[in-house]
Amino acid sequence: MTAPRKVGVFLCHCGGNISDVVDVRAVREFAERQEEVVLATDTRFMCSNEGVCRLQDEIRKRSLDGVVVACCTPKMYEDLFRGKAAEAGMNPYLLEIANVREQCAYPHRHEPEKATEKAKGLVLAQVEKVRKLRPLETKTAAVAPGVAVIGAGITGIHASLLLAELGHKVTLIEKSPTIGGNMARLVKTFPTDDCAMCTLSPKMNEAYNHENIELLTYAEVTSAKRTPGRFTLTVTEKPRFVTDACVGCNKCTEKCPVSTAKAPTQVPSEWEMGLAKRKAVYLPFPSALPQLWTIDADHCFYFQRGGKCRICAMVCPAKAIDFTMAAKERQVEVGAVIVATGFQEYDPAPLKHLGFGRHPNVVTQMQVARMLDSMGPTHGAVARRSDGKPATSVVMVQCVGSRGTPGDPLTHEYCSRVCCMVAVKHASLIRKAQPDTEVYILYNDLRAYGKGFEEYYTRSMTLGVKFVRGLPGSVRREGERLLVDVEDMLTGRRLEIPADLVVLSAAMEPPPVDGLLAALHLDKSPDGFVKEYHAKINPTETAIKGVYVAGCAQGPKDITDSISQAGAAAMSAAVFLGKGEMTLNPIVAEVDPALCRACDRCAEVCEFEGVRVDPERLLAVVDETACEGCGKCAVVCPTGAITVRQFRKEQVLASLDAMAPMAVMP
Amino acid sequence: MSSAAPALAAVGDALDPALRILTTEGCVQCNKCTFNCPVHRVDVTFSPRKVILQAYLGGGDAVSERDLWACLTCGECQAVCPTEVPYPAFIRAKREQLRPVMDRAAPCKHGGFKEVVARIQARPGLKPDRRAWIGEGLKVADKGEVVYFTGCLPYLDGIFSYCDSASIGRAAIRLMNAAGIVPVVANAERCCGHDSLWNGDTETYRKLAGANAAWIRKTGAKRLVTTCAECYSMLKHEYPKVTGDLGVEVLHFSELLEELVASGKVKLTKPVDLQVTYQDPCRLGRHAKEYDAPRAVLKAIPGVKFVEMDRIRENSMCCGVGAYSTCDAQTKFMQQERLEEAASKAETLVTACPHCRIHFSCYIDGRPVDPLPALKIVDLTVLAAQALE
Amino acid sequence: MSFEPAVAAFCCNWCGYSAADQAGAAKLEYPAGVRIVRLQCTGMVDPYFVLRAFERGYDGVLVVGCHFGSCHYKSGNHQAREQLDRVAPMLQALGIGQQRLLMTAASAAEGPVFAAKATEFVELVKRLGPSPLREVAR
């Protein structure tokens, strides 16, 4: 049998807030009579210097190993009192608060007798709980140094630069052969009409050259293991089949037979959004970083036709082609991960009434962005794809694939946020470059929410962009042109607008990253994007401690907001890594090895990877860095082996029993 | 710690009868009990022989908490003991004596749940609804010749959701209806008190026994049948010690079914093509010595191929949990051992006690420690009902 | 003397408990028979707690958590719902009555909702009468 506890009960008057309703003296006398209570005292303000000193003095004088403070809600001062108790030499977790203000004196202020009886019950509940509490050790776990940033678009680049500047080692992992992401395609950005590459390029260069950033391109995270304070990512680097000897002369690309006029294999260029073709050996775009050519083995004749074609190797002056290169797998160990995998453009083909995929002159906004690039597939001309003739009438359709009916499998329910501004941008640019071209924007609502957005929109109207409120019923072919059939809601008239080019503002959707999310055990929100910890107050953390999300990976947004989130995620990661160790909240789950049946039920219900069964030891093991302390496991455990500290069954029941009608109240 | 004679006097009244039994029967310290104990096989520090030795030497407090509660009270020890020392009864008496001084607020998790439900039912003034689980199409009555004692069936599935224990009761009623019997299912029924008694809470047990005896007598029934081996051993062998003669013939459902099949009142004609083996429940087998009726029923089901395990009848191995007093890190090894044995004989293991079924099913539903061939755990009554046309 | 129900209210730290705090701070009132037990999450509510509460004489059990979809621990309140859905028929079978158990939601900003729901539930339990397990305190 253990030595009896010495519990001290400290009651607060709260300057009358409590004592005007609750008879504090009666509660004190009641508390004095309870088992193992060696002291019951009251003060005007427990949170004052006087109150705190009293607390600390008594703890020291009497060697208290349990304290109940009856005062305001624990949300106010639980941490304060626990800290003070620790300073005085008592384990802070042996202190509990009886909430006699917000949950007694206040709500029952017109029934002082009942409030006093209830206060006695509340104090007893905490005394009984404290008698069963065990001291908890505040442990730390080493957090591994280094951050992995997955996705090297503007978001990933910006986050990497911030962390690198702080001195952290960053491993920047990008799936495609080049960094830059979607922003590099955009030509101009709203609302300033800055050149996208001009703002992006310096950052790309900085990231490429930074001594603290290791760049892995053409590489994917295929699996991830997590141990306390450390993520071990398995990264597979795909073979480029081109060595460092490459001098960038482009002869291989010129001579590659794939995608030539008569070639049986035609590869649409991902970079040009399918508006042009690329060769099997290629550089994605002129200012791609790294400046490394890549051979796409899925379309290259050497690989697809048994090694017959070696033209690139033959013409290469630097002998840089190496068909024997193999995929490399490496382990990247970091303390934190930032997911910045961006977005992809929705494919509008399923929306048959809009004709994408059937009529060549129905395109998307990203394709128009490529057209507007003077170095792009149409050299800056916004022209018909069918015959290259200039487009004299361009009709843009908003909300394609966004703001769909709930439950519709073909579209998304959410608003993609940026498409209104993208359409206004492209419409303005077309009007400026081709004043003879009519531009219509068919919209439902026009969302110009950001800084400078409304002004940009107003300016587009002075540039002659025509806005029609209504979304088209159909886009059909009429001779050589298309006819867009729409009801103008503001005039009530039906319009049939002839168009050379119909531009669909297609939704932003998440790219195919399910494998990565599964590897990191990240969830998706109902809209399909990576689920943040809390949409309002914590948008860049995730449920997994140490894993952050930023940019369009978390949801549709523009470059400004992506950069903001990149900064937020980088900061959160830096704070997490900051001291090299994390203080573990001890109020997490704990397993009693004598009781554990290794049945796996705890791991099944845990959403935080807080516990898993070690198959060799046949024991459930808690990862104290991941466990959030919710207690779901404790309910499903058949033996009671796993339990949450400070909320063990006997501790919760002690409180419950103490306030029960059957409780004996001496 | 003093020598044996003064220790006897120092020990409280509750223990005297148990120790008295021991001294008259006489443990000879041969260790056969320990060699056969299933708990000892998974935890070598657990030894019934040592416990008895310590009880002789040390008196009341010498039994450790683990020794006291980890015992399954399965009776294997007693079955092999050359002098038939009643070890389970000894443990039961010890539990009664030591319970007030042991801080055992809740035993194992499910033991706690069963305990609070039993204590609730020991209180007067409740108006339970013990028929809602039965469902449509089955006939029960308030008065009649045969009482069906349902035990925990109305609420087991709330906790052990992977089992459908209520199907056992429905099968039993269906079989009885087919034989023209409309059994009494009484709202006044309480927990039989098995766990309360075996875990040393005799106060609750006596209240439950008294309450049950009262309504059973009022039904005017001649026979009482139950599908649970624990309820059976309680009503038949324990109740008379505290309530006097209940005035009814107490039967396990397998006994009734054997009779109904033999007399042609129930016709099991639909073939049930399964190879099965059978688990003798501790409470039906060793405690109540009923080994044959369940086997007769199995042999009467057409299509069933019945293969015995190696350890059967008085040597049957316990399902791993006794009276829900303990379930811990060692329990799974016992369950693995027994289920491997069963799986080596058949794909279906038939049980005659809902608790054996729950414990085995819990193990399979969790994660076996070693690969286990696919095994279904089926109750005898449910199996028999499948053979009804 | 009219019957004043004793209700055990299991409240989650993030929503229910904070809602109760807010109700108090906003000087709203609810019956004093409501006795709050603070848990990290309603997912921590074990059917055993519910049964034990009734065994100890509480007339009703209230569980107050976050709204579905807003659980601080993702889906703790979903597990609570599942577990309580299994306890309810047991309460009915035992003769305690499943109406004496209620799960509801009140976010940290919903002090008025907490006060209203607590009051409403106490009224309901009052109409049901004292729990059949109520005994005079020893």
Instruction: Tell me how far apart the terminal alpha carbons of chain B are, to the nearest angstrom.
Output: 67
> Mind listing the pLDDT tens digit for each residue in A108-152?
999 999 999 999 999 999 999 999 999 999 988 899 999 999 999
In angstroms, rounded to a whole number, what is the distance separating the alpha carbons of residues A203 and A196? Answer: 11
B85 and B149 share one domain: no
- Asked if the C-beta of C66 comes within 8 angstroms of chain A's C-beta atoms, the answer is no
Cis? peptide before A290, omega within 30° of 0: yes
Q: CA of A665: which chain C residue's CA is closest?
A: C137
Size of interface B-C (CB pairs under 8 A): 61
Task: Compute φ and ψ for A211, nearest 5 degrees.
Answer: -70, -20
CATH for the stretch A7-136: 3.40.50
Which uninterrupted H or E stretch holds A225?
strand A219-227
Q: Would you tell me which residues 340-369 of chain B have a C-beta closer than 8 angstroms to some C-beta of chain A?
A: 362-363, 365-367, 369
Whether the pLDDT of residue C80 is over 60: the answer is: yes
Structurally, what CATH architecture does the domain formed by A147-238+328-342+510-579 represent? 3-Layer(bba) Sandwich (3.50)
HSE, side-chain direction, 13 A CA sphere, residue A127:
29
- Shortest distance between the Cα of B152 and any Cα of chain A, in A, equals 18
Chain B residue with minimum CA distance to A640:
B109
Chain CA centroid to CA B360, Å: 14
Question: Using a CB-CB distance cutoff of 8 angstroms, which residues of chain A are in contact with residue C46?
Answer: 634-635, 649
Q: What is the pLDDT of residue A314?
A: 94
Give which of C7, C42, C56 to mutate to test A binding, by max A Cβ within 10 Å: C56
Candidates C45, C49, C51, C101, partner chain B, best to mutate (most B CBs within 10 A): C51
Q: What's B10's domain CATH number? A: 1.10.1060
Tell me if C18 is assigned to some domain.
yes
| Whole-number pLDDT of residue B106 | 55
Q: Which residues of C touch B (CB under 8 A)?
A: 47-48, 51-52, 54-55, 86-87, 89-90, 92-96, 132-133, 135
Number of alpha carbons in the 13 Å side-chain half-sphere of residue B179 = 22
Burial class from Cβ neighbours inside 10 Å (0-12, 13-18, 19+) for residue A536 reads exposed
CB B341 within 8 A of CB B311: yes
Q: Which residues of chain C make contact with B132, given a CB cutoff of 8 A?
A: 89, 92-93
- Residue among C29, C44, C81 with most chain A CBs within 10 A, to mutate: C44
Domain's final residue, options B260, B288, B314: B260
Would you place residue B227 in the very low, low, confident or very high pLDDT band (cuts 50, 70, 90)? Answer: very high
Among B233, B260, B287, the domain-final residue is B260
B329, B366: one domain: yes
Flag whether pLDDT at C109 surpasses 90: no
More confident residue, B7 or A388: A388
User: Which runs of consecutive H residues, i.e. helices, occur in A14-106?
Assistant: 24-32, 49-62, 74-87
Q: What is the CATH number of domain A589-645?
A: 3.30.70.20
Residue A575, sorted as left (phi over 0), alpha (psi -120 to 50) or beta, turns out to be alpha
What phi, psi does A148 have (nearest 5°)?
-105, 125
Residues 118-157 (B) with a CB less than 8 A from some CB of C:
119-121, 123, 125-130, 132-133, 154-155, 157
User: What single letter denotes the amino acid at residue B93?
Assistant: A
| DSSP element (H, E) containing A221 | strand A219-227
Terminal alpha carbon distance of chain A:
25
Q: CA C87: distance to chain centroid?
A: 14
- Alpha carbon dihedral C74, C75, C77, C78, in 10-degree steps, equals 160
Contact between residue A19 and residue A50 where contact means Cβ atoms under 8 Å apart: no
- Show residues of chain A in contact with C48, CB under 8 Å: 649
Q: What percent of chain A stands above pLDDT 70?
A: 99
> Judging by beta carbons within 10 Å of its beta carbon (0-12, 13-18, 19+), is residue B265 exposed, middle or buried?
middle
SS3 label, residue A68: strand
Question: Measured between beta carbons, which residues in chain C are less than 8 angstroms from residue B116?
Answer: 48, 51-52, 55
Per-residue CA distances from A67 to A13, A83, A96, A647, A658 (Å): 17, 13, 6, 16, 17
CATH fold match for the domains A7-136 and A345-509: no
CATH number at residue B336: 3.40.50
Which residue from A85, C56, C28 is spatially nearest to C37, judged by alpha carbons? C56
Task: Note whether A601 contacts B105, CB cutoff 8 Å.
Answer: no
pLDDT of residue A363: 97
3-state secondary structure of B224: strand
Q: What is the mean pLDDT of chain A?
A: 94
Q: Can you tell me which residue has the tokens 């220790």?
A: B7
| A411 — pLDDT class (breaks 50, 70, 90) | very high
pLDDT tens by residue, A173-191? 999 999 999 999 999 999 9
Question: C8 or B84, which is more confident?
Answer: C8
Q: How far apart are CA A252 and CA A242, in angstroms?
A: 11
Domain of residue B283 covers 266-386
What is the structure's pLDDT at A46? 94
Do B180 and B307 belong together in one domain?
no
User: At residue B1, does pLDDT exceed 60?
Assistant: no
C-beta separation of C58 from C32 below 8 A: no
Q: How confident is the model at residue B15 (pLDDT cuts 50, 70, 90)?
A: low
* A434 vs A582, higher pLDDT: A434
Distance CA A573, CA A335 (A): 9
Q: In the numeric block, which tokens belong to residue C31?
A: 């019956």
Decide: B71 and B94 in contact? Cβ < 8 Å.
Answer: no
Report the pLDDT value the prediction gives residue B367, as an integer from 0 to 100. Answer: 87
Would you tell me how many other CB atoms lie within 10 Å of the CB of residue B275?
13
Say if residue A508's pLDDT is above 90. Answer: yes
Are the CB atoms for C99 and C124 separated by under 8 Å?
yes
Looking at residue B8, its pLDDT comes to 33
Q: Do C86 and B161 touch (CB under 8 A)?
A: yes
What tokens were used for A501?
């080019």
Closest residue to C37, CB basis, from A634, A652, A661: A652
Half-sphere exposure of B46 (CA within 13 A, CB side): 19
CB contact under 8 A, A650 and B329: no
b/e map A238-248, b = 16+ CB within 10 Å: bbbbbeeebee
Contacts of C among chains (3+ CB pairs under 8 A): A, B
Taking CA–CA distances from B125, the nearest residue in chain C reads C132
Q: Tell whether B107 is covered by a domain.
A: no
pLDDT of residue A243: 93
State residue B5's pLDDT score.
33
What domain count does chain B have? Answer: 3
Q: Does B108 fall in a domain?
A: no
**pLDDT band of B7, cuts 50, 70, 90:** very low
**Average pLDDT, rounded, for chain B:** 89
Instruction: Choose the final residue of a domain: B242, B260, B278.
Output: B260
Contact of A497 with A486, CB cutoff 8 Å = yes
| A contact test, residue of C4, C21, C61, C100 with most A CBs within 10 A | C21
What is the average per-residue pLDDT within A391-416?
95
pLDDT attached to residue B57: 65
**Closest Cβ opposite residue A601 in set B105, B332, B366:** B366
B137 shares its domain with B224: yes
Q: Which of B283, B315, B113, B124 is nearest to B198 (CA)?
A: B283
Both B374 and B316 in a single domain? yes
- Of residues B226, C35, B324, the one with CA closest to residue A659: C35
Give the mutation candidate from A652, A657, A664, A665 for the C interface (greatest C CB count, under 10 A). Answer: A652
Per the listing, tokens 């008594």 go with: A58
* DSSP category for residue B195: H
What pLDDT score does B58 carry?
Answer: 59
**B346 lies in a domain?**
yes
* Option in A106, A125, A607 nearest C74 (CB): A607
**Which residues touch C136 (CB under 8 Å, ≥6 apart)?**
none
Q: Which contiguous run of DSSP H or E holds residue B379?
A: strand B376-379
Token pair of B184 as six digits: 């009494």
Eight-class DSSP state of C99: G
CATH architecture for segment(s) A239-325? 2-Layer Sandwich (3.30)
CB distance C40–A607 less than 8 Å?
A: no
Q: B120 and C54 in contact by Cβ < 8 A? A: yes
**CA of A512, closest CA in chain C: separation in Å?**
24
- Residue A140: its pLDDT value, please? 87
Spatial distance between the Cα atoms of C119 and A664, rounded to a whole number of angstroms: 26
C-alpha C135: how far from chain center: 21
In a domain, residue B106? The reply is no
**CATH at B250:** 1.20.1050
C52 with A657: Cβ contact below 8 A: yes
Q: What's A132-194 look like in SS3?
A: CCCCCCCCEEECCCCEEEECCCHHHHHHHHHHHHCCCCEEEECCCCCCCHHHHHCCEECCCCE
The token duo for B282 is 């501790």
Q: Which residue of C has its CA nearest to A75?
A: C18
Residues B121 and B78 reside in one and the same domain:
no
Q: How many CA atoms lie within 13 A of A255 on its CB side?
A: 13
Taking CA–CA distances from C14, the nearest residue in chain A reads A75
C36-45 mean pLDDT: 96
Residue count of chain B, please give it.
Answer: 389
Q: Looking at the structure, tell me whether residues B172 and B191 fall in a common domain.
A: yes
Cα separation, A252 vs A449, whole angstroms: 47
In CATH, what number is assigned to the domain containing residue C115? 3.40.50
pLDDT at B12 over 60: no
Residues of C in contact with B130 (CB under 8 A): 93
Contact B101/A at CB under 8 A: no
Nearest CA among A560, A569, A562, A551 for reference residue A510: A551
Report if residue B229 sits inside a domain.
Answer: yes
Find the CB nearest B105 among A599, A637, A650.
Answer: A650
Handedness of CA A641, A647, A648, A649 (dihedral sign): negative
pLDDT band for A407, please (50, 70, 90 cuts): confident
What's the rounded mean pLDDT across residues C47-69? 94
Q: What is the pLDDT of residues B21-35, one digit of tens each?
A: 665 568 888 999 999
* Between A538 and A201, residue with greater pLDDT: A201
| 3-state helix, strand and coil shares in percent for chain A, rounded to the nearest 5 | 30, 25, 45
Q: Do B128 and C90 touch (CB under 8 A)?
A: no
Task: Please enumerate in sequence order all residues whose Cβ is within 8 A of that of B17, keeping only pairs 6 or more positions apart, or say none.
Answer: B93
Predicted confidence (pLDDT) per residue in B250-275, tens digit: 999 999 999 999 999 999 999 999 99
What pLDDT, in 10s, does the model give residues A461-489?
A: 999 999 999 999 999 999 999 999 999 99
Which residue on chain A is closest to C131 by alpha carbon? A661
User: C86: distance to nearest CA of chain B, Å?
Assistant: 5
Residue numbers in C near A77 (CB within 8 A): none
DSSP H helices in A341-480: 365-372, 419-433, 453-462
Domain A345-509 sits in which CATH superfamily? FAD/NAD(P)-binding domain (3.50.50.60)
Question: What are the residue boundaries of the structural domains of chain A, listed by start?
Answer: 7-136, 147-238+328-342+510-579, 239-325, 345-509, 589-645
Contacts of B238 (CB under 8 A, 6+ apart): B197, B209
- The number of distinct structural domains making up chain C is 1
For residue B372, tell me if it sits in a domain. Answer: yes
Taking an 8 Å cut-off on Cβ atoms, the answer to whether A656 and C8 are in contact is: yes
Cα gap A371→A500, rounded to integer Å: 14
d(CA A634, CA A625): 18
